[in-house]
Amino acid sequence: MIRPRWRKVLRDLWGNKLRTTLVVLSIAIRVFAVGMIVGTQILLREDLSRVYGTTNPAHAFLSISPFDEEAIEIVRNVEGVAEADGRAEHTIPLQKEGDELGEIRLTVPADFADWRLQTVASISGKWPPDEQEILMERASVPYVNAAVGEMITVEDVDGRLRQLTIVGVAHDLFTQPVQFTNVPNGYITRDTAEWLGYGDKLSRMPLRIEGEDVTEEEIRAVIDRVKLKLEKAGYAYYGDWIPEPGEHPANEAVQPLLAILGILGLLSLFASAFLVINIINGLLAQHTTQIGIMKAIGARSSQVMGLYMASVLIFGLLSLLIAVPLGALAAYGLADFIAGFINFDLNGVRLIPQVVLLQTAVAILVPVLAALVPVLRGTAITVHQALSEQGLGAGHFGSSLIDRAMNWLTAVALRLSRPTRISLRNTIRRKARLLLTLITLTLGGAIFIGVLTVHESLLKTLDDALAYFAYDIDVEFKQAHRLEEIQRQVLAVPGVAAAESWIGASAVRLRPDGEEGDGFYLIGAPADTAVINPTLLDGRWLEPGDSNTIVLNSLVLKDEPDIQVGDVIMLEVDGREGEWRVVGLVQGVMTGGIGYVNQPYLARLLRFVDKADSVEIVAATTNPAAQRALEIRLRQHLEEAGMAVDSTGLISDVRGTIEYQFGLVVTLLAVMAVLVALVGGLGLTGTMSINVLERTREIGVMRAVGASDTAVQRIVMVEGALVGVISWFFAVLLAIPISRYLSNVVGNELLRSSLSYTFSFKGAFIWLVAVIIIGALASFWPAWNASRLSVRETLAYE
């Protein structure tokens, strides 16, 4: 049989269903938020690495002169090599709708039937494809305007139109997502590659070395042996690329998202602790008399404490029941949304032990700890104190300076009506309680405004990034040509408004410790360049007389974080080592690492005096289709003039890519802002409702002395709204450091530099409206409830 004291606990919970529901929901919504955020984070990380593992990823990619099975066999026999495979990759022109010319990236495996590394999975249709057939990557299908069974038109090596039949759909985790690149991915056999004029040889060799969790050094050691063997066998070794071991390339895009989620999760946890303290405080204030009676009839403080801790435990367990499944579902939904961008599938909805553990801690440990102080204080109250507080509850008004100031303000200075005076004075009557409510509301608001601020800062940074490109078309020549000749030929093409010739080179930093850096691109542009607008972060831009001075973009610092403006660094440019003085730092705009140097100096260094190997063109039109037509005219004109074109590119395509990369983070932030507002709003509504519930008896007294229902409701709602407005003020203040920190994290992960910080006034305004509504609505419900009770009932309300 249950003892009467535990029956009291259960019946307290059951008897006051409104309050129990509010408390459980308020805790549950926080536990839900923690589960959703942390769950998303873990789902993405776990499932991405799991899917990644099933594709047998390569540790390194070697670029070798054309080879076939013979070379693969040689490498497989090298000591330390676990597996080797071969492939070729060709990016060729693709005819899109109408006259539009796009590109398609074709991957040619050594053997479809024996694909060993970086595998691609068949999703539907034929496998392998026959000659003149192609498999499309699943995410690329919408980008080629053709369905399975239909044909796409590409240009072969000689510019002839060739048709490939789509015979199936495949999933390739390793492609750069087509949403980002705008270049669809397809898979063809070596026979088809030969038919297109690219020959049946392979050019890249994925390599996997023996052992688990290998380091870059171990990989490097094996590659050195492979290189020797291949060179001995007569192959030319062009270079290699070692991706971050064990990490999917998309991790780069996922990291900022995970960082944001992590911070929000932590803030959520913090806010939930305050919410719980608030709730428990309110609960105990209501039970003061009962605590007194129980002690009067023989209960020790520890026994009373046990009763209330049991209530807290039950609240926590009930919250868990709701929040764990809902949190898991929401985590799956959010993770699935993000996974869609990265082109991988989640392993399905599931409960993650760590997340459930964390949720349990939030739902039980945090409330129990949070309740400890108020329960200790509430139950340590003497019987005498408890019973003499039967009137209108705790709290004293009148003695402190703040109280007197409020009295004067409301009565004399503002001449407010008496009910409004009650609202204002009530607000500050229970100062500890007010402080807790304010902290809870403030945290919720600050997170919301912070997220929206990061959102706006990202958009501002995107604007800045797009403002960087003042040219429309980039033309790269196969060889360097004389500057005047380039200008003359290019300006002769109708539709070209302006042109500027650049010279490019690749640079590798020789680090102070003697190691080589990852390398970046050097642009030799005129110091007074008119076709780019880089945002200067530090130092200065190039000046006409500059020689071995260099301006780096922030993305170079991603790999070389020790470089500072004013440093002298060693660079190997086109095989020549030399010292360069870093004079400035500009914002990187997702073009990769770039160093800007004075064009005449670089041209001299490369023995290309008065020559350039690329030209940046400003089109007379902003219409993308017209620019695309101009791109084709330029190609034709330059080829006819005997200037072989290596590649051309439209900046509008680059813009699309940048917008998309930002879009992923921006979209997630927007989703998070809505969720934060929803979760925060619901939680806060619950807390404030509990506060008003606590005052049911007081409401009874007001009505007993003649207050109408509407007067009572007005008093309570004005008070709620007032608390909201006060919290809003602090939320705005707190949002500034929170959003600065969030912006730095996002900027660092995404761009290796801080974002163009823009405080979200829109977010602050939305929260002001929201918090007034939350305050008023949250107070209205229990006040309305109280006004339905008779005066006698409210006075007897426990």
Which of 295, 430 has the CB closer to other proteins?
A: 295
- Find the shortest distance in angstroms from Cβ 798 to other proteins: 6
Which of 14, 348 has the CB closer to other proteins?
A: 14
- Find the shortest distance in angstroms from Cβ 2 to other proteins: 10
Which of 7, 762 has the CB closer to other proteins?
A: 7
φ and ψ at 795, to 5 degrees? -70, -30
Which of 399, 622 has the CB closer to other proteins?
A: 399
- Find the shortest distance in angstroms from Cβ 390 to other proteins: 8
**CB burial class (10 A; 0-12, 13-18, 19+) of residue 588?**
buried
- Residues 6+ positions from 599 with CB-CB distance below 8 Å: 501, 502, 503, 524, 525, 526, 527, 612
Which of 160, 300 has the CB closer to other proteins?
A: 300
Distance, in Å, from the CA atom of 552 to the CA atom of 566, rounded to the nearest integer, reads: 11
Distance, in Å, from the CA atom of 355 to the CA atom of 336, rounded to the nearest integer, reads: 17
Interface residues with other proteins (CB under 8 A) are 1, 3-5, 7-8, 11-12, 15, 289-290, 293-303, 380, 382-384, 387, 390, 399, 796, 798
Q: Pairing between strand 549-553 and 576-586?
A: parallel
- Find the shortest distance in angstroms from Cβ 284 to other proteins: 15
Which of 321, 796 has the CB closer to other proteins?
A: 796
Structure-token pair, residue 318: 């009930």
- Find the shortest distance in angstroms from Cβ 403 to other proteins: 13
Identify whether 600 is preceded by a cis peptide bond (ω within 30 of 0). Answer: no
Query: Residue 116's closest CA among 72, 68, 80?
Result: 72
Which of 3, 232 has the CB closer to other proteins?
A: 3
- Find the shortest distance in angstroms from Cβ 314 to other proteins: 14
Distance, in Å, from the CA atom of 437 to the CA atom of 130, rounded to the nearest integer, reads: 69
Which of 380, 402 has the CB closer to other proteins?
A: 380
- Find the shortest distance in angstroms from Cβ 7 to other proteins: 6
Which of 302, 622 has the CB closer to other proteins?
A: 302
- Find the shortest distance in angstroms from Cβ 299 to other proteins: 4
Using H for helix, E for strand and C for coil, what is the string for 17-32?
HHHHHHHHHHHHHHHH
- Helix ranges, 644-693 (H): 651-693
- Find the shortest distance in angstroms from Cβ 307 to other proteins: 10
- Find the shortest distance in angstroms from Cβ 424 to other proteins: 23
Which of 296, 644 has the CB closer to other proteins?
A: 296
Which of 32, 308 has the CB closer to other proteins?
A: 308
- What is the amino acid identity at position 654? V
DSSP classification of residue 469: B
Which of 10, 609 has the CB closer to other proteins?
A: 10
- Find the shortest distance in angstroms from Cβ 778 to other proteins: 26
CA distances for 528 relative to 141, 157, 500, angstroms: 44, 39, 11
Structure-token pair, residue 605: 């260094």
Residues 12-16: contacts with CB under 8 Å, at least 24 apart = 12/311, 13/311, 13/314, 13/315
Residue with tokens 């419900």: 781
- Number of Cβ within 10 Å of residue 87's Cβ equals 20
Residue 549 bridge partners (DSSP): 581
Q: What does 692-741 look like in DSSP terms, one character per residue?
A: HHTTHHHHHHHHHTT--HHHHHHHHHHHHHHHHHHHHHHHHHHHHHHHHH
Element (H, E) at 452: helix 431-468
- Find the shortest distance in angstroms from Cβ 304 to other proteins: 9
Distance, in Å, from the CA atom of 654 to the CA atom of 640, rounded to the nearest integer, reads: 27
Distance, in Å, from the CA atom of 734 to the CA atom of 447, rounded to the nearest integer, reads: 9
Q: 480-504 burial, b for 16+ CB within 10 Å, e for fewer?
A: bbebebbbebbeebebbebbbbbbb
- Find the shortest distance in angstroms from Cβ 736 to other proteins: 42
Is 308 within 8 Å of 370 (Cβ atoms)?
Answer: no
Which of 291, 454 has the CB closer to other proteins?
A: 291
Which of 303, 354 has the CB closer to other proteins?
A: 303
Which of 293, 361 has the CB closer to other proteins?
A: 293
- Number of Cβ within 10 Å of residue 97's Cβ equals 8
- Find the shortest distance in angstroms from Cβ 416 to other proteins: 27
Element (H, E) at 456: helix 431-468
- Find the shortest distance in angstroms from Cβ 309 to other proteins: 16
Distance, in Å, from the CA atom of 498 to the CA atom of 529, rounded to the nearest integer, reads: 12
